[in-house]
Structure 1
Amino acid sequence: MPWQTFPHEADIGVRGTGATLDEAFAGAALALTAAICDPATVLPREALQIDCEAPDLELLLVDWLNALIYRMATRRLLFARFEVQIDGTRLHASAWGEAVDVARHQPAAEAKGVSFCELKVVQQEDGQWLAQAVVDV
């Protein structure tokens, strides 16, 4: 599940790609974690279930990433593993992670929310899916 972050003015972009839409959304979620800390430092100790529904795939990506940000903020968690299932414009996912340990995770930023800037969910010419958004940090 390839992922990457990309610079965007004062914010940071997150991007996931994959052979399926599910993989691309999972990659975008992992990129979200990478915007905060090194995902390799986060252990998959605890699983949470997340369900979202939106009118289209781009808004579904926004809802998915914002649901993760909300859980990170309210439960003081970081996530490192994701299983995503998308059916139309409904998403069901499991996210595994652990409580924030500042000394070990060394968070560099706090994600505040996802903007609509550079928001894109598309199947590319090579058949790979791309899911990207910009996160306010």
Structure 2
Amino acid sequence: MWSLFHHGADIGVRGTGNTPARAFEQAALAMTAVITDPAQVRCIESVRIECEAPELELLLADWLNALVYEMATRHLLFGRFEVELQGDRLQACAWGEPVDVERHQPAVEVKGATYTELEVREDAPDHWHAQCVVDV
């Protein structure tokens, strides 16, 4: 499950899941929703992503920024994610397709994940949330 929240001129992204990895996946999906309807993104290409950071919060920001980089350099939108977390390392695969302006009707360009409201925590047993504000 993912959601968006407003923060000044920027937008917050939040993912929830039964593990930190699932929450990271949903936060990435929320970031796609800032740009376009994730249901409109076909998952026909895959990209492998690896990140490393000393804390889960920093790893979330690195993960989202790695996705922003891949979207910008490959001109892709992503609609599905699979994340594995092992200590301070993230290994993931993102599936998507090239941007089709007519079909995707991108609303904004995400420039990057920020440390504003950056948080990864377990709210209750098996209920994690991962969030931050993205610069648009």
TM-score interval, normalised by the smaller of the two chains: over 0.9
Task: Please give the alpha-carbon distance, in whole angstroms, between the structure 1 residues aligned to 2:124 and 2:19.
Answer: 13
Pairs aligned (count): 136
Task: Please give the alpha-carbon distance, in whole angstroms, between the structure 2 residues aligned to 1:112 and 1:58.
Answer: 18
1:100 aligns with 99
Structure 2 counterpart of 1:123, one-letter code: E
2:133 aligns with 134
SS at match of 1:135: strand
1:22 aligns with 21
2:90 aligns with 91
Deviation at 1:125, TM superposition (A): 2.6
Task: Please give the alpha-carbon distance, in whole angstroms, between the structure 1 residues aligned to 2:133 and 2:88.
Answer: 20
2:116 aligns with 117
Structure 2 counterpart of 1:16, one-letter code: G
2:12 aligns with 13
Identity of aligned residues (%): 62
Deviation at 1:52, TM superposition (A): 0.3
Deviation at 1:127, TM superposition (A): 3.2
Q: CA RMSD in A?
A: 0.7
Which runs of no fewer than 5 residues in structure 2 stay unpaired? Answer: none
Task: Please give the alpha-carbon distance, in whole angstroms, between the structure 2 residues aligned to 1:51 and 1:30.
Answer: 17
Task: Please give the alpha-carbon distance, in whole angstroms, between the structure 2 residues aligned to 1:12 and 1:122.
Answer: 20
Deviating 4+ runs (over 4 angstroms): none
